[in-house]
Amino acid sequence: MLKKRIIPCLDIKDGRTVKGVNFVELRDAGDPVELARTYSELGADELVFLDITATHERRKTLSEMVRRVAEQISIPFTVGGGITSVEDASLMLQNGADKIAINSAAVRDPQLINRLADRFGNQCIVVAIDAKQTNGIWKVFLNGGRLETELELFSWAEQAVSLGAGELLFTSMDHDGTKQGFAIEALKELTKRVNVPVIASGGCGTTAHFTEVFQETNVDAALAASVFHFGEIEIPALKKELENNGIATRSV
């Protein structure tokens, strides 16, 4: 049985970790380097680092901070935000990232997925998808949730995988920061449609939500931010509860 992964997410703005609700009302959550080190020590399985305003502000992800984070941790590390080329991705990997996450750039240039996968391998490429329901349809949004597209979540996910995505990170904008639980039905459908690992993101508020998403869907990992950043859920206790519910995780 593949063990499920617990992944804290570091959303970065102006060099600080931030967290909001439904992608807005951001508040400071601490120094990303310190948080990264803490999560690595506490038994997180991976980290995701997203420079959430890089695309919107037409900036590149802060490679120096990526290097500093990578020096402090001993777990896989995914970096995203403002990556629009093979050269951008190469810089992040040279500075210590293990995987690259692309979102808006992939929608605007789907062949970027193919180019990155050809250069670095499918296992290195994560396509992140931000979506929310519009008139009952899961629509894909770009630029940190600012720009609605005509793309539909499931068809875009299938296309991304066909182009070489080795993993998908799906964030429900409707659930983000609400602490009301993950988008279970959407995740059920998504994991039926694709044959690569799926990371669930958006809405976790309790340890029971982690248990639910692993028991009710076929996701490979669950990602959360504020519940970890503000000490509402401790990773060792979370993993113990998951094990008690028959969900295999990597030992702390």
Catalytically annotated residues = 11, 130
The tokens of 217 are what?
Answer: 């869907």
240-243-248 Cα angle (round to 5): 125
Q: Could you give phi then psi for residue 185, rounded to 5 degrees?
A: -65, -40
SS3 205: coil
Helix axis angle, 86-94 to 63-72, nearest 10°: 40
**Residue given tokens 């490679």 in the structure block:** 63
**E strand spans, the chain:** 5-13, 16-21, 24-30, 47-51, 77-80, 99-102, 125-134, 137-142, 147-152, 167-172, 198-201, 221-224
Write the DSSP assignment of 13-80 as a string of letters.
ETTEEEEEETTEEEEEEE-HHHHHHHHHHHT-S-EEEEETTTTTTT----HHHHHHHHHH-SS-EEEE
